[in-house]
Amino acid sequence: MRITDVRAVYPEYQPPRSGWRGPMWQVVVEIQTDAGLTGLGVGGAGGAAAYIINEHFRGLLLGRDPDKIQTLWDELYAASLAYGRKGVAVMALSGVDLALWDLRGKAQQQPVYRLLGAETPAPATAYATGSDVARYQQAGYRAFKLTQPKGPRDGDAGIEENVARVRAARELGGPEADLMLDAWMSWDVDYTLRMAERLAPYHLKWIEEPLSADDYSGYARLTREIGTTQIAAGEHEYTHFGFGEFIRNRCAHVLQPDVTWCGGLTAALRILALAEAAGLPVIPHRGGEVWGLHLVAAKGLGLAEQVIGDGEYPAGDPALSGAPRQQDGLITPTERPGFGVTLAPGVL
Protein backbone atom coordinates (compact mmCIF):
# COMPACT_ATOMS: atom_id res chain seq x y z
CA MET A 1 0.00 0.00 0.00
CA ARG A 2 1.25 3.46 -0.92
CA ILE A 3 0.05 6.99 -0.18
CA THR A 4 -1.45 8.63 -3.27
CA ASP A 5 -2.76 11.89 -1.84
CA VAL A 6 -2.76 13.99 1.32
CA ARG A 7 -5.00 16.97 1.91
CA ALA A 8 -5.88 19.13 4.87
CA VAL A 9 -8.66 21.69 5.24
CA TYR A 10 -9.92 24.01 7.91
CA PRO A 11 -13.69 23.41 7.93
CA GLU A 12 -16.21 26.23 8.04
CA TYR A 13 -17.63 25.61 11.49
CA GLN A 14 -21.04 26.99 12.38
CA PRO A 15 -21.54 28.80 14.64
CA PRO A 16 -18.11 30.43 14.28
CA ARG A 17 -15.70 30.09 17.15
CA SER A 18 -14.21 33.13 18.81
CA GLY A 19 -10.62 34.22 19.38
CA TRP A 20 -7.82 31.80 18.48
CA ARG A 21 -10.45 29.08 18.02
CA GLY A 22 -11.44 30.79 14.81
CA PRO A 23 -8.62 30.57 12.24
CA MET A 24 -6.45 28.48 14.58
CA TRP A 25 -8.89 25.71 15.53
CA GLN A 26 -8.95 22.10 14.33
CA VAL A 27 -7.72 21.07 10.88
CA VAL A 28 -9.04 17.92 9.16
CA VAL A 29 -6.51 15.65 7.41
CA GLU A 30 -7.32 12.96 4.84
CA ILE A 31 -4.73 10.47 3.50
CA GLN A 32 -5.64 8.39 0.44
CA THR A 33 -3.94 5.21 -0.76
CA ASP A 34 -3.68 3.06 -3.87
CA ALA A 35 -5.57 0.34 -1.99
CA GLY A 36 -8.71 2.46 -1.93
CA LEU A 37 -8.48 3.07 1.81
CA THR A 38 -8.58 6.56 3.33
CA GLY A 39 -7.30 7.62 6.74
CA LEU A 40 -8.85 10.49 8.65
CA GLY A 41 -7.24 12.60 11.37
CA VAL A 42 -7.58 15.94 13.12
CA GLY A 43 -4.83 18.34 14.16
CA GLY A 44 -4.68 21.85 15.53
CA ALA A 45 -3.78 25.33 14.24
CA GLY A 46 -6.41 25.59 11.49
CA GLY A 47 -5.41 27.21 8.22
CA ALA A 48 -1.75 27.54 9.23
CA ALA A 49 -1.48 23.78 9.81
CA ALA A 50 -3.36 23.05 6.60
CA TYR A 51 -0.75 25.05 4.68
CA ILE A 52 2.12 23.11 6.27
CA ILE A 53 0.47 19.78 5.48
CA ASN A 54 -0.53 20.61 1.92
CA GLU A 55 2.62 22.50 0.90
CA HIS A 56 5.34 20.63 2.83
CA PHE A 57 4.31 17.33 4.44
CA ARG A 58 2.31 16.15 1.42
CA GLY A 59 5.38 16.02 -0.80
CA LEU A 60 7.27 13.98 1.79
CA LEU A 61 4.42 11.47 2.13
CA LEU A 62 3.42 10.75 -1.46
CA GLY A 63 4.44 7.24 -2.55
CA ARG A 64 5.39 6.17 0.98
CA ASP A 65 4.22 3.12 2.91
CA PRO A 66 1.60 4.50 5.36
CA ASP A 67 2.19 1.69 7.85
CA LYS A 68 5.67 3.02 8.70
CA ILE A 69 4.05 5.43 11.15
CA GLN A 70 6.93 5.97 13.58
CA THR A 71 9.43 6.43 10.74
CA LEU A 72 7.19 8.96 9.00
CA TRP A 73 6.67 10.82 12.29
CA ASP A 74 10.41 11.13 12.82
CA GLU A 75 10.98 12.30 9.25
CA LEU A 76 8.23 14.93 9.32
CA TYR A 77 9.41 16.19 12.70
CA ALA A 78 12.98 16.48 11.41
CA ALA A 79 11.86 18.15 8.19
CA SER A 80 10.02 20.88 10.14
CA LEU A 81 12.69 21.49 12.78
CA ALA A 82 13.70 24.85 11.32
CA TYR A 83 10.24 26.30 11.93
CA GLY A 84 8.69 23.73 14.24
CA ARG A 85 9.54 21.68 17.33
CA LYS A 86 6.40 22.99 19.06
CA GLY A 87 3.18 24.78 18.26
CA VAL A 88 1.75 24.97 14.74
CA ALA A 89 4.10 22.50 13.02
CA VAL A 90 3.55 19.80 15.64
CA MET A 91 -0.20 20.41 15.57
CA ALA A 92 -0.03 19.79 11.82
CA LEU A 93 2.03 16.64 12.38
CA SER A 94 -0.61 15.47 14.88
CA GLY A 95 -3.32 15.44 12.22
CA VAL A 96 -1.15 13.49 9.78
CA ASP A 97 -0.15 10.97 12.45
CA LEU A 98 -3.74 10.34 13.51
CA ALA A 99 -4.79 9.84 9.88
CA LEU A 100 -2.05 7.22 9.53
CA TRP A 101 -3.26 5.38 12.65
CA ASP A 102 -6.83 5.51 11.32
CA LEU A 103 -5.56 4.06 8.05
CA ARG A 104 -3.73 1.24 9.86
CA GLY A 105 -6.90 0.34 11.73
CA LYS A 106 -8.92 0.25 8.53
CA ALA A 107 -6.28 -1.85 6.75
CA GLN A 108 -6.34 -4.39 9.61
CA GLN A 109 -10.11 -4.06 10.17
CA GLN A 110 -9.45 -3.24 13.82
CA PRO A 111 -10.31 -0.30 16.08
CA VAL A 112 -7.28 1.72 17.17
CA TYR A 113 -7.60 0.63 20.81
CA ARG A 114 -6.99 -2.96 19.66
CA LEU A 115 -3.90 -1.87 17.74
CA LEU A 116 -2.69 -0.55 21.10
CA GLY A 117 -3.00 -3.96 22.72
CA ALA A 118 -6.44 -3.93 24.35
CA GLU A 119 -8.82 -6.67 23.25
CA THR A 120 -11.64 -4.99 25.17
CA PRO A 121 -11.63 -1.24 25.83
CA ALA A 122 -11.85 -0.03 29.41
CA PRO A 123 -14.80 2.36 29.89
CA ALA A 124 -13.66 5.80 31.01
CA THR A 125 -15.41 8.24 33.32
CA ALA A 126 -16.43 11.16 31.14
CA TYR A 127 -16.04 14.56 32.72
CA ALA A 128 -17.63 17.74 31.42
CA THR A 129 -15.61 20.93 31.06
CA GLY A 130 -17.50 24.19 31.38
CA SER A 131 -19.33 26.14 34.05
CA ASP A 132 -22.92 24.80 34.08
CA VAL A 133 -22.59 21.86 36.48
CA ALA A 134 -26.35 21.51 36.92
CA ARG A 135 -26.88 21.06 33.17
CA TYR A 136 -24.03 18.57 32.92
CA GLN A 137 -25.50 16.55 35.78
CA GLN A 138 -28.82 16.35 33.96
CA ALA A 139 -26.96 15.06 30.89
CA GLY A 140 -25.49 12.19 32.93
CA TYR A 141 -22.03 13.46 33.87
CA ARG A 142 -20.70 12.74 37.34
CA ALA A 143 -17.33 14.53 37.08
CA PHE A 144 -16.77 18.20 36.31
CA LYS A 145 -14.07 20.73 35.45
CA LEU A 146 -14.80 24.40 35.97
CA THR A 147 -13.42 27.01 33.56
CA GLN A 148 -12.89 30.77 33.43
CA PRO A 149 -11.83 31.42 37.03
CA LYS A 150 -10.76 34.86 38.14
CA GLY A 151 -7.04 35.66 38.25
CA PRO A 152 -4.53 37.91 40.00
CA ARG A 153 -5.78 41.07 38.30
CA ASP A 154 -9.22 40.54 39.88
CA GLY A 155 -7.88 40.98 43.40
CA ASP A 156 -9.49 39.69 46.59
CA ALA A 157 -12.96 39.90 45.10
CA GLY A 158 -11.88 37.50 42.36
CA ILE A 159 -10.54 35.04 44.91
CA GLU A 160 -13.86 35.08 46.75
CA GLU A 161 -15.70 34.54 43.47
CA ASN A 162 -13.48 31.54 42.67
CA VAL A 163 -14.14 30.05 46.09
CA ALA A 164 -17.88 30.61 45.72
CA ARG A 165 -17.99 28.93 42.30
CA VAL A 166 -16.06 25.90 43.50
CA ARG A 167 -18.18 25.67 46.65
CA ALA A 168 -21.40 25.74 44.60
CA ALA A 169 -20.07 23.08 42.22
CA ARG A 170 -19.12 20.83 45.12
CA GLU A 171 -22.57 21.21 46.66
CA LEU A 172 -24.19 20.31 43.33
CA GLY A 173 -21.85 17.45 42.50
CA GLY A 174 -21.76 15.97 45.97
CA PRO A 175 -18.79 14.75 48.00
CA GLU A 176 -17.94 11.83 45.69
CA ALA A 177 -17.75 13.70 42.38
CA ASP A 178 -14.38 14.41 40.78
CA LEU A 179 -14.09 18.20 40.63
CA MET A 180 -11.31 20.09 38.86
CA LEU A 181 -10.49 23.73 38.08
CA ASP A 182 -8.84 24.96 34.85
CA ALA A 183 -6.92 28.24 35.19
CA TRP A 184 -5.70 28.17 31.53
CA MET A 185 -2.29 29.77 32.07
CA SER A 186 -3.76 32.89 33.74
CA TRP A 187 -2.34 32.64 37.30
CA ASP A 188 1.11 33.05 38.82
CA VAL A 189 2.90 30.99 41.46
CA ASP A 190 1.89 33.03 44.50
CA TYR A 191 -1.74 33.27 43.41
CA THR A 192 -1.90 29.50 42.77
CA LEU A 193 -0.47 28.75 46.22
CA ARG A 194 -3.04 31.06 47.76
CA MET A 195 -5.93 29.55 45.79
CA ALA A 196 -4.86 25.98 46.61
CA GLU A 197 -5.06 26.83 50.31
CA ARG A 198 -8.45 28.54 50.01
CA LEU A 199 -9.94 25.72 47.92
CA ALA A 200 -8.65 22.89 50.11
CA PRO A 201 -12.03 22.33 51.87
CA TYR A 202 -13.63 21.44 48.51
CA HIS A 203 -11.24 18.60 47.66
CA LEU A 204 -10.34 19.46 44.08
CA LYS A 205 -8.84 16.58 42.15
CA TRP A 206 -6.52 19.04 40.45
CA ILE A 207 -5.84 22.64 39.48
CA GLU A 208 -5.08 22.64 35.78
CA GLU A 209 -2.46 24.65 33.92
CA PRO A 210 -2.22 27.67 36.25
CA LEU A 211 1.04 28.91 34.66
CA SER A 212 2.56 29.33 31.21
CA ALA A 213 3.72 25.98 29.84
CA ASP A 214 7.27 27.38 29.72
CA ASP A 215 7.45 28.18 33.44
CA TYR A 216 9.19 24.96 34.48
CA SER A 217 10.57 26.40 37.70
CA GLY A 218 7.17 27.75 38.70
CA TYR A 219 5.48 24.42 38.05
CA ALA A 220 8.20 22.59 39.95
CA ARG A 221 7.60 24.80 42.96
CA LEU A 222 3.83 24.30 42.85
CA THR A 223 4.20 20.54 42.52
CA ARG A 224 6.64 20.50 45.42
CA GLU A 225 4.74 22.78 47.79
CA ILE A 226 1.04 22.08 47.19
CA GLY A 227 -0.29 19.11 49.14
CA THR A 228 -4.04 19.82 49.18
CA THR A 229 -4.62 19.03 45.49
CA GLN A 230 -2.72 18.01 42.36
CA ILE A 231 -1.22 20.19 39.66
CA ALA A 232 -2.20 19.03 36.17
CA ALA A 233 -0.51 20.40 33.06
CA GLY A 234 0.70 19.58 29.56
CA GLU A 235 -2.16 20.70 27.34
CA HIS A 236 0.19 23.20 25.73
CA GLU A 237 3.34 21.08 25.80
CA TYR A 238 4.55 19.23 22.68
CA THR A 239 6.15 15.89 21.79
CA HIS A 240 8.00 13.46 24.01
CA PHE A 241 10.97 15.85 23.92
CA GLY A 242 9.00 18.62 25.61
CA PHE A 243 7.29 16.27 28.05
CA GLY A 244 10.65 14.72 28.86
CA GLU A 245 11.83 18.09 30.19
CA PHE A 246 8.52 18.59 31.98
CA ILE A 247 8.91 15.23 33.70
CA ARG A 248 12.59 15.69 34.56
CA ASN A 249 11.75 18.99 36.24
CA ARG A 250 8.81 17.42 38.14
CA CYS A 251 6.44 20.06 36.85
CA ALA A 252 3.12 18.29 37.47
CA HIS A 253 1.38 15.53 39.37
CA VAL A 254 -0.80 14.72 36.32
CA LEU A 255 0.26 15.01 32.65
CA GLN A 256 -2.28 16.11 30.03
CA PRO A 257 -1.06 15.74 26.44
CA ASP A 258 -3.65 16.61 23.79
CA VAL A 259 -3.41 13.90 21.13
CA THR A 260 -4.48 16.30 18.36
CA TRP A 261 -1.81 18.84 19.35
CA CYS A 262 1.17 17.13 21.01
CA GLY A 263 2.26 15.15 17.93
CA GLY A 264 -0.56 12.64 17.52
CA LEU A 265 -0.90 9.15 18.89
CA THR A 266 2.73 8.29 18.16
CA ALA A 267 3.95 11.14 20.37
CA ALA A 268 1.33 10.35 23.02
CA LEU A 269 2.54 6.75 23.29
CA ARG A 270 6.13 7.95 23.73
CA ILE A 271 4.96 10.43 26.37
CA LEU A 272 3.04 7.69 28.16
CA ALA A 273 6.17 5.51 28.29
CA LEU A 274 8.15 8.37 29.87
CA ALA A 275 5.37 9.04 32.37
CA GLU A 276 5.09 5.39 33.35
CA ALA A 277 8.83 5.24 33.99
CA ALA A 278 8.49 8.31 36.23
CA GLY A 279 5.40 7.00 38.02
CA LEU A 280 3.18 9.85 36.77
CA PRO A 281 -0.45 9.44 35.61
CA VAL A 282 -1.48 10.58 32.13
CA ILE A 283 -4.99 11.91 31.56
CA PRO A 284 -5.17 13.36 28.02
CA HIS A 285 -6.66 16.77 27.42
CA ARG A 286 -9.96 16.29 25.56
CA GLY A 287 -9.61 12.55 25.99
CA GLY A 288 -13.33 12.10 25.40
CA GLU A 289 -12.88 12.88 21.70
CA VAL A 290 -12.18 9.78 19.62
CA TRP A 291 -8.55 10.71 18.94
CA GLY A 292 -7.67 10.49 22.63
CA LEU A 293 -10.42 8.12 23.71
CA HIS A 294 -8.84 5.05 22.09
CA LEU A 295 -5.64 5.70 24.04
CA VAL A 296 -7.60 6.23 27.27
CA ALA A 297 -9.60 3.04 26.73
CA ALA A 298 -6.63 0.90 25.66
CA LYS A 299 -4.38 1.94 28.53
CA GLY A 300 -7.05 2.26 31.24
CA LEU A 301 -6.28 5.93 31.92
CA GLY A 302 -9.60 6.39 33.68
CA LEU A 303 -10.88 9.89 32.87
CA ALA A 304 -11.98 11.27 29.50
CA GLU A 305 -12.68 14.99 29.08
CA GLN A 306 -15.50 16.31 26.95
CA VAL A 307 -15.38 20.07 26.40
CA ILE A 308 -18.98 21.20 26.44
CA GLY A 309 -18.78 24.84 27.45
CA ASP A 310 -22.08 26.68 27.62
CA GLY A 311 -23.96 25.61 24.52
CA GLU A 312 -20.94 25.21 22.20
CA TYR A 313 -21.44 22.14 20.01
CA PRO A 314 -23.42 20.07 22.56
CA ALA A 315 -23.68 17.25 19.99
CA GLY A 316 -19.94 17.09 19.35
CA ASP A 317 -17.66 18.20 16.53
CA PRO A 318 -19.90 19.14 13.55
CA ALA A 319 -17.23 18.01 11.08
CA LEU A 320 -17.47 14.37 12.22
CA SER A 321 -20.12 11.70 12.60
CA GLY A 322 -20.04 8.40 14.45
CA ALA A 323 -18.28 9.57 17.62
CA PRO A 324 -19.46 7.81 20.80
CA ARG A 325 -21.45 9.67 23.44
CA GLN A 326 -21.23 9.29 27.18
CA GLN A 327 -23.92 7.21 28.84
CA ASP A 328 -24.49 7.29 32.59
CA GLY A 329 -21.22 9.16 32.98
CA LEU A 330 -19.11 6.61 31.06
CA ILE A 331 -17.73 6.68 27.52
CA THR A 332 -16.19 3.90 25.41
CA PRO A 333 -14.94 3.88 21.79
CA THR A 334 -16.88 1.92 19.20
CA GLU A 335 -15.62 -1.28 17.55
CA ARG A 336 -15.54 0.26 14.08
CA PRO A 337 -12.14 0.10 12.31
CA GLY A 338 -9.69 2.92 12.90
CA PHE A 339 -11.04 5.71 15.05
CA GLY A 340 -14.55 4.85 13.91
CA VAL A 341 -15.63 8.25 12.62
CA THR A 342 -16.45 9.67 9.20
CA LEU A 343 -16.58 13.19 7.82
CA ALA A 344 -19.83 15.05 7.75
CA PRO A 345 -20.99 15.84 4.18
CA GLY A 346 -19.26 18.79 2.56
CA VAL A 347 -16.37 19.16 5.02
CA LEU A 348 -13.68 18.69 2.38
C-alpha separations of 188 from 53, 102, 151, 183 in Å: 36, 40, 9, 10
| Annotated active-site residue in 203, 236, 240, 285 | 285
| Residue 294 a catalytic site member | no
Query: What local confidence, expressed as pLDDT, does residue 348 receive?
Result: 72
CA distance 317 to 18: 15
Q: Which domains does the chain have, with CATH numbers?
A: 3-109 (3.30.390.10), 124-343 (3.20.20.120)
> What's the pLDDT band for 148 if we cut at 50, 70, 90?
confident
pLDDT tens-digit series, residues 47-87: 999 999 999 999 999 999 999 999 999 999 999 999 999 99
- Tens digit of each residue's pLDDT (9 = 90 or more) over 186-230: 999 999 999 999 999 999 999 999 999 999 999 999 999 999 999
The Cβ of residue 344 has, within 10 Å, a number of other Cβ atoms equal to: 15
Q: Give this prediction's pTM.
A: 0.96
Q: What is the mean pLDDT of residues 319-330?
A: 90
- Position 18 scores a pLDDT of 57
Query: Within 13 Å, how many C-alpha atoms sit on residue 339's CB side?
Result: 32
**Three-class secondary structure of residue 261 per DSSP:** coil
What average pLDDT does this structure show over 254-263?
A: 98
Contact 14, 47 (CB under 8 A): no
| 124 bridge partner residues | 331
- In this prediction, residue 17 carries a pLDDT of 57
Rounded Cα–Cα distance for residues 304 and 267 (Å): 18
Q: State yes or no: pLDDT of 314 exceeds 50.
A: no
